[in-house]
Amino acid sequence: MYKSLFVLLFVFIVLISGIFAGCGASEYTSDQSTAAPANNSSRGVAKEAYNKDSKVRVQFDEELAGEMNFSDADSGSAAVTTSRTAAKPVSSIRKVIKNGDVSIEVKKAGEAFDKISKWVNTNGGYEFNRNSSVSGDSTQITAVFKLPPEKLGAFIKFLEDTGKVINSNISSDDITDQYYDIASRLESNKKARDQFLEILKKAQTVDEILKVQNELNRINEEIDSLQGRINMWDKLVAESTINLTITEESAPLKPAEDVEWKFSSFNDVLKSMKNGFILTVNTIVNILEWGLVILVSASPVLLIVAIVIFIIYRSMRKKRKAQPPTEG
């Protein structure tokens, strides 16, 4: 009896061991089958770089990737891995372009301009260009000043103290979104350029070098264009442009500063009389000459008109003679 129990216990232990062994083998097979695709996927060669913001898309074909003999590990590190959505720089600094047009009226334009120009130079600005014009006794000066945007309000206040402000227009252009969008595209292109430079180091043939160099040239052109826009915006944001017009106050009753007596001599009077007589005679002669020219030029027309009038007159006269006299 004890022998039978021992045999049954041994068989039971063997069965349990077989069941656990089979489960472990199936789990191992399942893990291997699921891990293989993931491992193969992770070891794939990256041949495409796509940058959504800068519109940069670089496609390497299978032939180039094969010719450059990138190993799985090397290609993973050397391939362009620019993110599809480059993060926009986070900044609280707004980019605003401020410009203005101001017209003022003063007593003396020259003195007012010197005073305004001195204030601008003292406050970190400068004169960009200037033009002046004189009409009678009035002078007008137009000038363009560049000064820091934070000084714009103080400049307008100074102009109000200097003269009478006739017109004032201050405009603001907020380019914050456009500025940081271009800045983000510029940064993405710089990263792509660095990665292509790494790829260039691994190129082994002339064909490989030319293909990578073409992509580098295109990216460098894009970088230059974006950097130029950034530099232009930085300058416009850093300096406000003010178009200033200075005019002098009109004074119609303003007396002349110096009034002098002036007489003509007897010889001057005789000369004026002689000139007047000659001018009158010349005018009469010119009128007669032009009258004669017009008469001769219109003579054919006048002759025809005269003949028509004569014919009409003769016909009317004959009709009157042909009519019998009326009895009284």
Q: What is the pLDDT of residue 261?
A: 65
DSSP 201-254: HH--SHHHHHHHHHHHHHHHHHHHHHHHHHHHHHHHHH-EEEEEEEEEPP-TTP
Residue 73 pLDDT > 80: no
Q: Is 113 left (phi over 0), alpha (psi -120 to 50) or beta?
A: alpha
What would the two tokens of residue 126 be?
């400068």
Return the C-alpha torsion angle 307, 312, 317, 320, nearest 10.
Answer: 170
Per residue in 92-121, pLDDT (tens digit) is 688 999 999 999 999 899 999 999 999 999
Phi-psi region of 124 (alpha: psi -120 to 50; beta: other; left: phi over 0): left
**Long-range Cβ contact pairs of 128-132 (< 8 A, separation 24 or more):** 128/241
Mean pLDDT over all residues of the chain? Answer: 75
Query: What is the per-residue pLDDT for 306?
Result: 87
| Tokens linked to 242 | 């003010």
pTM equals 0.46
Residue-wise pLDDT tens digits, 187-233? 999 999 999 999 888 888 888 889 899 999 999 999 999 999 999 99
